Structure 1
Amino acid sequence: MKAKKSKTDQNVLAQNRKARFNYAISDTFEAGISLTGTEIKSVRAGQITIGDGFVTFHDGRALLTNVHIAPYENGNQFNVDPLRSRQLLLHRRQIQSLQQTALEKGVSIVPLKVYLKHGFAKVLIGIGRGKRQFDKRQDLKKRDQERELQRRFKN
């Protein structure tokens, strides 16, 4: 009898590991990204960097800003600016609630990861409140203690 394959249709292409270290993520949203033809080919090849990205709002639209998608190497005149702002595909109520949340002091909306779902590029964005240096040190200390416990239980 064959073992069943797990049905994970999510293929993580980029992850922002610094975001969880620098921000306390309270809530997450899944959003589509509006991309051109050569951009999606580049994203599928894993040529995307979301480390410095953030979400801005303009004319009732959510825009993913400062995310670098490398130009597709086989593209010609259809390649676009690698750092252009890309529209996020969210419901109007989601955009309004995110916009209200972003107006609070110390709150940023950052991309956490980019993945493929059913052939479409999706981005997981999170509402992050900036951590202080003390909080970051506490996280590092906690992580080291957990590693030490794992080592001891392993032996």
Structure 2
Amino acid sequence: MKDGQLDEIDRKILRTLRTDGRISNQDLAVSVHLSPTACWNRVRALEEGGFIEGYAALLSQRALGLPDTVLIEVTLDRHDDDMLIRFGEELAKLPEVMEANLLTGDYDYLIKVAVAGTEGYERFLRQRLYKIPGIRHSRSTFVLRTLKRTHSVEP
């Protein structure tokens, strides 16, 4: 990587790590046709350059008893800094929330939540989400099937 620019080997490393973050450096080096030392140096440079933010295990919602995904559109009462900060902080504390995005458009937030059916969703609404002050309106949609799921863009 020169001057923050990725070459094809860097992109190959990133694509491989994107699909298998646990690959050994030896196997990664073989797959990108580098020596283990050169490969390790490139991975470190990619980490230090901010191209790799971290490594994580992907957990099964179904195995954890939360097989359903709900997308919730939320509109707040106010849009001042204090309200946005407080709402964001409270939302981040909820373990069912997998993703939360502050948006432009007709509603303020799009929240992705893992639940166990409609009963689990009702419990989430009543016991968690609606306890956060400042919500004016929400609208929900259950996900029937996920057609594509990635956690980063392909380099």
TM-score, length of structure 1 as denominator length:
0.23
Normalized per residue, the structure richer in strand is 1
Whose relative contact order is higher, 1 or 2, with alpha carbons under 8 Å and at least 6 apart?
1
More helix by share: 2
Larger Rg: 2
